[in-house]
Amino acid sequence: MAEVKSTMVPDFEVKFLLNDSQVLDFASSKPNDELRAVFNLPSKAIRMNVQFLDTSSREIYNAGWSPRIRKIEGESGYELTYKKRYPIIDDQADGAIDASDLLTALNLAKDDGFDVTETNYDTQVEWGFQKQTLSISRKKKVKKDSVGKKEMGLPDEDESKKLLTEEIPGKFDNWSFQKWGRSLLSQAVIYGPVLAERYEGTWEGVEVDIEVWPLRSKESEAGMESIVEISFKSDNGNTAGDAHKALEIYLEEKGWLVPRDSLKTQLIMDRYGPQESDDSEEATGSYTTMA
């Protein structure tokens, strides 16, 4: 087993993809009655408008970072997130987390300068169908008098670069060299935005979120597809593992499980951004609407 160097203690977020044709109402693209009943979902969702920034060649994403701007319905201003991801090597067919592999990822993050003593960073294991990823995030709230709780628009490209640069944390800014982050942000374009919906429910006493993300089905086509994800969080790895297995079995029995990992950020990076024409609604800062 790897020697323990890191003092970071992550929490766990389990995520599964759901078959949209089985769990969404065809006409509305919203959770159908059976899904609502099983997971005690409310009638009203919380909307989230999300966009990422990166260079045209995705230099930030390729370095394992994702700077994001999000507007959440019911909250004033914007939420900025700077996330660094470390893959957790998994040699187990059942998708279970090996302690040694997790420690290897934690130690790598420690060697890069991340430490639990910096309490403004959140450490989490994102645990999908099989793959696991260690994510380390710095979140910042930006208040804007003009951006109230009901507004859902996001800033345009110039304002987005300005906001992310003004609030930039040192680790992101000086990742490969001094001022690396702000240098790349100055060249960045918007990937997105995407307007998603989140429903907060419960299952077997566990609080769960179900999110519906309408994404372009292909990079340059007008078609859309709904990415449906169920997730829950736990502070304990063993508890998360038991619930991961139980929920996977239940979803499989219902015929709702999509047996692959959820990669929303990657899909957004692949399908949005500079390859789109300048007159597309998404490129100009408006957001994708849901049916």
pLDDT, tens digit only, all 291 positions of the chain? 345 455 677 999 999 999 999 999 999 999 999 999 999 999 999 999 999 999 999 999 999 999 999 999 999 999 999 999 999 976 555 557 778 888 899 999 999 988 756 668 899 999 999 999 999 999 999 988 778 888 899 999 999 999 999 999 999 999 999 999 999 999 999 999 999 999 999 999 999 999 999 999 875 566 899 999 999 999 999 999 999 999 999 999 999 999 999 889 999 999 998 764 444 333 333 333 333
Whole-model pTM: value is 0.88
Q: What is the pLDDT of residue 120?
A: 84
- Other beta carbons within 10 angstroms of residue 85's beta carbon come to 19
- Torsion angles phi and psi, residue 181, rounded to 5: -65, -50
Indicate the DSSP class of residue 186.
T
Distance CA 92, CA 203 (A): 27
Measured CA distances, 114 to 120, 136, 137 (Å): 11, 8, 10
